Amino acid sequence: MATISTAFSIATGALDADQSALNIVANNTANANTPGYTREIPNWEQNDSVSLNGVSYGMGASVTRSESQRSLVLERAMQQQTQTESASSARLTALNQMQALFSGATSAGTDTSTASGIGSDLTNFFDSLSSLEGSPSDDAQREQVLSTAGTLASDFNSAASQLGSQQESLDEQSASLVGQANTLLTSIAQLNIEIESTSPTADAGTLEDQRQEDLTQLSQLIGINEITTENNGLSITTPGGALLVSGGQASPITTGLSGGVTHFYDAEGNDITGDLTAGGGELGGILTVRDQDIPQAESALDTLAYAVASTINTLNQGGTDLNGSPGSSIFGLPAGASAANPAGSASGITVLMTDPSEIAAAASGQGSSDNTNAVAMARAGQSAIVNGITPTAYFSDFVTTFGSLVSEVSGENTAQQAALTQLQNQIGSLSGVDLNEEAAQLETLEQSYQAASKLFTILDQVMVSALNLGVETSYT
């Protein structure tokens, strides 16, 4: 037979359950702005019923646990998208710095003061040679040729050295990023141990929140693959498969110098630089610029510098200078640079000639008024001497190609950000704490709590009535 004490017990249970649910609401509200927090909802369960004399009586309800509202699929997708987006964002930042070097190409003026003026420098140099055609023995015109050659060479040097220093600063950045990534790997390994021991079968709640938050941060830094293992464990590898975390064991990435730049190695000592470059994350973006974009720009400048300097040198050597002597080299190029491998030409190009009278404006054997060789040198500016096109066209192509690259990466980044925002919205709509919802929940639980306590009061009166056999007494 059901007793009044059973009803008391149900009311007490309801109060307990409500308190527990209120706790969860309070916790949600408190963590509304905590990064990585997933909202929790109380898991209400009907207590087992009791069957007495063939009649089944309900035994109330209780809150058995709180459940984190999480979708691992969405979070994994978001982490992957974060890796892609961070990579293009880091690459874009570095490329924007690089393109500032060539901003002179966007102005109508003839700015020759900085590296940005290589285009104008080329024009001025070849123009000074064509001016020399009109008065081949004029000292002022000859001086002008050497002076424009000097500006051209020094702007090549300055562009190459600024690209070099950007490369160095990216190199330093990459090493510091790996340091941060290693800290996160250790933290994830630690969380793996805790999760495996406390919650091997179900969602680990706040521990899982922390692990997911660490994974999101790690995804901003490097590209990773996640593999869920038994007992809620997690293994992390690079996209190429080098093991970074296995269960409770973190294998930090180590760094070492190779070929003048920082290279990265896994626990077994394999070089995973290429793997990390292609992988994504901020590190992937930075390494792409360091190992691919900057070397490409340098190589274009080297090719241009080598072609102009060697063509002009050859022509000048074929002529006769103002003193009647055979011409010499105007430009100096690094030893070992060749048309096939012009590496270092942009940083190493110099003007060897100091005496303007050594410019060989005249053809071989002709006198000081002959301009045949000056015509030939000026014509080199209009000739296909760099990879089948003129020097100016080559620089113009370089500017267009490079600008297109920056614009393309910028477009990619915008699209990736939009996709990332969408994923974040999806995750937010599932896991984010909505304060209105919590307020409503609070209101509901408050009423439910009040009802349960009212029930308690009434049961109390019923009990008193029962004890006094129906006689109302004035008891308080």
CA distance 228 to 223: 17
387 binds another protein (CB under 8 A): no
412 binds another protein (CB under 8 A): no
Provide, rounded to whole angstroms, the least separation between the CB of residue 360 and another protein.
13
> Interface with another protein by CB under 8 A: which range of 13-21, 80-88, 204-212, 362-370?
362-370
CA distance 437 to 443: 10
Q: Which of 47, 366, 448, 453 binds another protein (CB under 8 A)?
A: 366
> Interface with another protein by CB under 8 A: which range of 59-67, 124-132, 188-196, 271-279?
124-132
Q: Which of 308, 378, 445, 452 binds another protein (CB under 8 A)?
A: 378
Q: What is the per-residue burial (b if ≥16 Cβ within 10 Å, else e) of 155-188?
A: bbbbbbebbeebbeebbebbeebbebbbbbbebb
127 binds another protein (CB under 8 A): yes
> Interface with another protein by CB under 8 A: which range of 94-102, 262-270, 277-285, 304-312?
94-102
143 binds another protein (CB under 8 A): no
User: How many CB atoms sit inside 10 A of residue 132's CB?
Assistant: 23
CA distance 324 to 284: 59
Place of tokens 């409500």: 18
37 binds another protein (CB under 8 A): no
Q: Which of 4, 26, 100, 458 binds another protein (CB under 8 A)?
A: 100
Strand partners, 46: 61
Residue 355 makes CB contacts below 8 A (sequence gap 6+) with none
CA distance 30 to 45: 25
Taking the least distance from each CB to another protein, the nearer of 2 and 389 is 389
Taking the least distance from each CB to another protein, the nearer of 62 and 368 is 368
Q: Which of 15, 41, 267, 430 binds another protein (CB under 8 A)?
A: 430
Provide, rounded to whole angstroms, the least separation between the CB of residue 281 and another protein.
21
Provide, rounded to whole angstroms, the least separation between the CB of residue 270 and another protein.
37
Is the dihedral angle over the CA atoms 350, 355, 358, 362 positive or is it negative?
positive
CA distance 180 to 422: 27
User: How many CB atoms sit inside 10 A of residue 323's CB?
Assistant: 9
Provide, rounded to whole angstroms, the least separation between the CB of residue 29 and another protein.
8
Q: What secondary structure does DSSP assign to 117-155, as a single string?
A: GHHHHHHHHHHHHHHHHHSTT-HHHHHHHHHHHHHHHHH
367 binds another protein (CB under 8 A): yes
Q: Which of 146, 362, 377, 386 binds another protein (CB under 8 A)?
A: 362
CA distance 363 to 405: 44
DSSP 368: T
397 binds another protein (CB under 8 A): yes
Q: What is the pattern of x (binds another protein, CB under 8 A) and - over residues 431-470?
A: -xxxxxx-xx-xx---------------------------
136 binds another protein (CB under 8 A): yes
Helix (H) or strand (E) holding 219: helix 206-221
Q: Which of 410, 412, 448, 459 binds another protein (CB under 8 A)?
A: 410
CA distance 387 to 22: 75
Using CB under 8 A as the binding criterion, the count of chain residues that bind another protein stands at: 72
Helix (H, G, I), strand (E, B) or coil at 66: strand
Contact 98, 116 (CB under 8 A): no
CA distance 187 to 166: 32
Contact 341, 304 (CB under 8 A): no
Provide, rounded to whole angstroms, the least separation between the CB of residue 402 and another protein.
6
> Interface with another protein by CB under 8 A: which range of 2-10, 286-294, 297-305, 406-414?
406-414
74 binds another protein (CB under 8 A): no
CA distance 350 to 329: 11
DSSP 389: B
> Interface with another protein by CB under 8 A: which range of 6-14, 153-161, 376-384, 468-476?
376-384
In the window 215-254, what residues touch another protein (CB under 8 A)?
none
Q: Which of 421, 444, 450, 465 binds another protein (CB under 8 A)?
A: 421
CA distance 23 to 16: 11
Provide, rounded to whole angstroms, the least separation between the CB of residue 407 and another protein.
4
Q: What is the pattern of x (binds another protein, CB under 8 A) and - over residues 273-302?
A: ------------------------------
The distance of Cα 53 from the centroid of its chain, to the nearest Å, equals 70
Q: Which of 49, 198, 429, 444 binds another protein (CB under 8 A)?
A: 429
Taking the least distance from each CB to another protein, the nearer of 5 and 404 is 404
Taking the least distance from each CB to another protein, the nearer of 122 and 222 is 122
122 binds another protein (CB under 8 A): yes
CA distance 458 to 14: 15
